[in-house]
Each structure stands twice: as C-alpha cells, then as structure tokens.
Structure 1
Amino acid sequence: MDIVGHVRCFVAVAEERHFGRAAIRLGMAQPPLSQRIQRLEKEIGVRLFERTSRRVTLTQGGALLLEEARALLARTDTFLAVASRIRDGRSGLLRAALPSGIAGEPVAAILADLRRHQPGLEVELHELSTAEQLARMSSHELDVGLIHHPCDTTGLELGPVLRRELGVLLPPDSPLAARVDVPLSALTGYDLILFPRADAPALYDELLTTCARGGYTPDTVRHGQGDSFIRGLIHSVNAVAFAPPDPGQTADDGGPGIIWRPLAGTPLAWRFSAAWPKDRNSGAVTAFADTALNVLRTTTGVSADRPQHPLHLRPASEYWL
C-alpha cells in the first residue's frame, strides 16, 4: 500500500471535512478517495471518520492521528526536497579527482565555482593519476575525475576531449634555447623525464612512440612528477621534459633557470576529459565535469580535440581513427 498517498488523502478529508472538496483538492474522483480511506482504516485498524449523509467528522482516533499524519507528510516533503537537491547536484557528497600537474589557480577556481553554484554540495577532491582514478571508479570509490587519454574507458561516460599542446623544458645552457621552436629529433642526446608509467601506461607508451617517430629515442627515461624535482633533474643530468606553457609564460620562462620552447609542428599534447561511471550520471557529476572543463578552458588555454570522434584503444597507444 502507498502509505504516504493514503495518509495524504486522510489529511485532506480531515481538513476539508468533506469528501467532495477533498477529492477536488487532491485532483481525483470521490469514489477512489473513499476507497483509499477505507483501505487505510483497514490497514491501521483504526476508524478515522464518522460519516453521515450531511457531514464528515473525525473520530477520537482520527483526531489523535491527524498531527502525526501531518508530521509524516512534512518529513516526506523534506525527504523529497533533499533528494531533488542531490539529484540536481545541489547537495550531497561528491568524490572527485584531478590529475597531478593542474596548477593551484585552476584547482581553487573549480572549487570556488562549485561553492558558488552548488552551495549544498560537499566536494571531496583528490589528486590522483589516471590509473588510480580508473581503479577507484571501478571499485565505486570515486564519482568523477579528470583523466588523461589514451586510457581504457570501458564502462565510462566521457565529457568533451580537450587538448593542451606540450613544449619542452631545456637546461639553461642548451644550444636549443636559441631556436624559436624545437624539433623532436633535435632532442637526441638528452635523457627524457616522464611521469611513472604506472600512472598512465597507454599515454606513456604513446609519448615515447611519437618521440621515436619524430626522430628522438632517449638513451635513458627518468621518472619524476613534482615540478621542483623535474627541474632539479633538468639542471643536473642533461635531461629534458615535456610540459605545457603556464598562462602568461614567455618562451624563456620555464621556471627558475629553465628554458621552455614549443615543439616544432606541435606533435605532443595532453588530451583529457572528465569521466565518470555510466551508473553515476547525476547532477553533481555533471556540475563538476562542466565546471572543471570551463575553468581549464579559461585558465590554461586548452582547445577542443575533435570530441565528435570516438577513441580506440590499441595495445600500446591510442589514436584518432
């Protein structure tokens, strides 16, 4: 039995003291209303009304239950309102993640925008690699994230794929600093600093494959993640690293004592999108995905990367087909 619906009928009749007026108020015919009251009385074992041809009055039991019925309806309305806010992304807990390398300004802007437009939503934000995000989504420990492509997106919904061109970070005394842009083949002789392969295996392989096709096969691939650590390696071990330009950065400014140059032909880029499990498509997820991509568009200069095409994952790397 729909107990809430039946209780709503009871309260309407009790307040109107008339089945006809209560039926009009509820938008239903009078016979079904009478049947609902009878079923409710039978279910709870209490007679609620005394009925005559001229009037309807509450029994003593009905009078005692009326306030409880009103309280039940109020709690039901509150429950439905909260559910609506959660469904629309205006309330609840959202477990979200961003990859390492997102600067502090975009992270702060994402959280500020969510607080402004979704004030009842609590965001639990993590810094996780693509591999960690995919694992947590699979184990239902993460609702939405920003992942680097290529990767295995089976079972996921994706937002638009965005692209951010990569340049190269050079030692300050590198002769390549005199160039306007640097071909990949000119990096021969330098070690390469990359993120650990376990963080995003397909992306790692794709970067090395693209370098080899461009004429650059590093003798040694060193691994690092933090900006300070990477710049320390560049200074000390004759190595280079790939990085996007910071907003407002000049070509000579790759950080303290580091030179940044664009790559000739822009062969390398970070490609990323918001992603979430197909069964988690909620208002909160959509709000985070839209906010993250809008902030990145305005603060980091990313561009759309042919989002109308599907991604096809190959054993070692992923390309547009």
Structure 2
Amino acid sequence: MDLLRHLRFFVAVAEEAHFRHAADRLGMTQPPLSQGIRRLEDKLGVTLLTRTARGVGLTSAGADLLPRATALLADAARFTEDAQRHRDAHTELRIGFLPQLPAWHVAAVVDAVRRAGARASATVLSTVELVAAVVAGQLDCAVVHHPALVHPLECGAVVKVPAEFLVPAGRTVQRFAHLRGLTLAAAPRSHNTAACDLLVDSLRAKGIDPVLVPAPTDRDVVAAVATGGAFGLTADPGLRAPGVARAALGGDEFHLRVRLVWRTEPESRRLVEGALAEDHHAVR
C-alpha cells in the first residue's frame, strides 16, 4: 500500500468533512476514495473517520493522528523539493564571469554547456567576488582575471584573450608616449589587486605612470575615453563608439588573461575551457 497516497486521502476527507468534496479536491471519484480510506484503516487497525448524516467526522484516533499525517505529507513534500534542488544543482552549471570578458566568450561558454545537454546560468561579478562565491558554493566555477588570489580553489590553464587600447578619437596614438597626460580607465584595484598592479607595472615599463580612474565595465571605459581625457583596454573586437578609437600598442602583455577556477571540478570543465579558448576573430 502506498502510505503517503492513502494519508492524502485521509487528510483531504478530514479537512473537507465530505467524501465527494474530498474526491473533487483530489481529482478522483468517490468510490476509490472510500475504498482507500477503508484500506488505510485496515492497515492501521483503527477507525479514523465516522460517517454521519451531516457528513464525516473524526474518531478520537483520527483526531490524534491527523496532525501527524499532515506533518508527514508536508515533510514528504519538502523531501521532494530538496531532491529536486539537488538534481537541478547537478544538471545546471552555475558559472561566474568577470565584466571584462567579451559577451561573445560568455555566450560561447553557455552555449557549449547547453549543447552538451546541461543547463547553465551566468553571473557577472568582479574577480574578488567570483572567488568568494565559488568558495561559498554559490557558483560551481568562475572565469576570473589572472593573476588573482584564488586559494583554496583549483584552477585551469591561463587563456589569453586579445585586447586593444581605446583612446580618444582624433588623438594620434602610435606609441606609448602618446598616452601621457591621459588617465587610465580600468577596473578598480579592489576588484583584483594583482591584475591591476600588473597592468600598471606593464605600463610603467613602457614609460607611462598612469592615474587610475575606476571603470568596472567596458561601458565605463568607453564613457571615460569618450571624454577625451582617458585611455583604456578592451577585449571586445566589435566594440565601437563615437569619440573612441582603437590603437594597436604593445604585445600580448596587455591581453586579457583569464582562467577557470572551481572548488569541485565540474564535469564540463574542459568544455568550458575549450569555449573560452576559441578565437573570436576566426569564428566570426
């Protein structure tokens, strides 16, 4: 006998105080409901309900057992919901991305996971926030800026995403010296101290000692550059905006370096890293 099913019969009849009303509530006819109640009473060895001309009432045993039957059904529902969450957590990959990663790469990763038969959700946070979210179990993995403090997480290979300088339109910028007098629009140092310091050190090696203007996203970088007083970097080859020009300076030391981090290695790790490493220019 399916105990939970028959307890639902009992609770419905007890709450409705009417067999037909209970049957309607359960989406069934009255005869199998009455038979189910009798089977439950036979199984338990007690009478739960009394049938009178005015309807249905509870026996003393029924009144005593009804709250426990209700609690059992509620607990069974919670059990099912918790199992559903575990199932969803197993089939859905929660991925975090840093704001500087081009939208094309974010879409490529999510699409690769989807084509592999799983679901993916995307969250955009700073590298520091991404690491904390993976450590706390709020994300399964994250694409973070390299270098970064990622302990105690595991991490994959570093992927270089080509980046170019953004400069004010109309300003001649053919070498690094032409950037002097402009501020640097880039992610705040608090978003990833190591990567920020590396960028500044790389510019100093080129003879530029920039003042940093916080610009967490490409939109913020473009807005700062369009004022005519700042320069920045973007890894999005399709980014175009009025008042903003692109300048090819330096080598791959200014490329966006990213890597995947995780606490428990996801099954689709290699698939995600493969999508990250795809050449946007070659695929377009």
Question: TM-score w.r.t. structure 2 length?
Answer: 0.62
- Structure 2 letter corresponding to 1:267: E
Please tell me whether residue 115 in structure 1 is matched to residue 114 in structure 2.
Answer: yes
Corresponding residue for residue 273 of structure 2: 293
Runs of at least 5 residues in structure 2 that lack an aligned partner in the other structure: 1-82
- Structure 1 letter corresponding to 2:120: V
- CA shift digits 1:65-123 (9 cap, x unpaired): xxxxxxxxxxxxxxxxx9xxx7xx995333221111333333333222222212xx342
Equivalent residue in structure 2 for 1:205, among 178, 197, 203: 197
Corresponding residue for residue 256 of structure 1: 242
* 8 Å Cα contact 1:147-1:272 kept in structure 2: yes
Please tell me whether residue 146 in structure 1 is matched to residue 137 in structure 2.
Answer: no
- Structure 1 letter corresponding to 2:104: E
Aligned-partner SS, 1:189: coil
Aligned-partner SS, 1:267: helix
Gap change, CA 1:90 and 1:239, over 3 Å in 2? closer
Aligned-partner SS, 2:143: strand
- Structure 1 letter corresponding to 2:267: T
- Structure 1 letter corresponding to 2:92: L
Corresponding residue for residue 192 of structure 1: 184
Gap change, CA 1:91 and 1:141, over 3 Å in 2? closer
1:239: how far off?
A: 0.8
- Structure 2 letter corresponding to 1:239: A
Structure 2 Cα separation of the partners of residues 145 and 273 of structure 1: 8
Identity of aligned pairs, percent? 21
Corresponding residue for residue 126 of structure 1: 123
Please tell me whether residue 164 in structure 1 is matched to residue 145 in structure 2.
Answer: no
Aligned-partner SS, 2:260: strand
Aligned-partner SS, 2:278: helix
* 8 Å Cα contact 1:148-1:270 kept in structure 2: yes
1:260: how far off?
A: 0.7
* 8 Å Cα contact 1:150-1:202 kept in structure 2: yes
Runs of 4+ in 1 over 6 A off after TM superposition: none
Corresponding residue for residue 100 of structure 1: 99
Corresponding residue for residue 227 of structure 1: 218
Corresponding residue for residue 58 of structure 2: none
Aligned-partner SS, 2:271: helix
- Structure 2 letter corresponding to 1:257: G
- CA shift digits 1:210-229 (9 cap, x unpaired): 111221012x3211133333
Equivalent runs, 1:1-321 vs 2, <5 Å: 91-118=90-117, 121-176=118-173, 179=174, 182-183=175-176, 185-218=177-210, 220-244=211-235, 246=237, 254-277=240-263, 280-281=264-265, 285-287=266-268, 289-300=269-280
Corresponding residue for residue 313 of structure 1: none
Structure 2 Cα separation of the partners of residues 122 and 166 of structure 1: 30
1:245: how far off?
A: 5.0
Structure 1 Cα separation of the partners of residues 110 and 255 of structure 2: 26
Structure 2 Cα separation of the partners of residues 115 and 244 of structure 1: 24
Q: How many residues align?
A: 199
* 8 Å Cα contact 1:164-1:301 kept in structure 2: no
Question: TM-score w.r.t. structure 1 length?
Answer: 0.55
- Structure 2 letter corresponding to 1:93: E
1:238: how far off?
A: 1.3
Structure 2 Cα separation of the partners of residues 213 and 108 of structure 1: 35
* 8 Å Cα contact 1:186-1:216 kept in structure 2: no
- Structure 2 letter corresponding to 1:236: T
Structure 2 Cα separation of the partners of residues 193 and 293 of structure 1: 28
* 8 Å Cα contact 2:102-2:235 kept in structure 1: no
Corresponding residue for residue 77 of structure 2: none
Runs of at least 5 residues in structure 1 that lack an aligned partner in the other structure: 1-81, 303-321
Structure 1 Cα separation of the partners of residues 236 and 114 of structure 2: 28
1:301: how far off?
A: 5.6
Corresponding residue for residue 17 of structure 1: none
Gap change, CA 1:90 and 1:115, over 3 Å in 2? farther
Aligned-partner SS, 1:152: coil
Structure 2 Cα separation of the partners of residues 205 and 301 of structure 1: 29
* 8 Å Cα contact 1:144-1:275 kept in structure 2: yes
* 8 Å Cα contact 2:144-2:258 kept in structure 1: yes
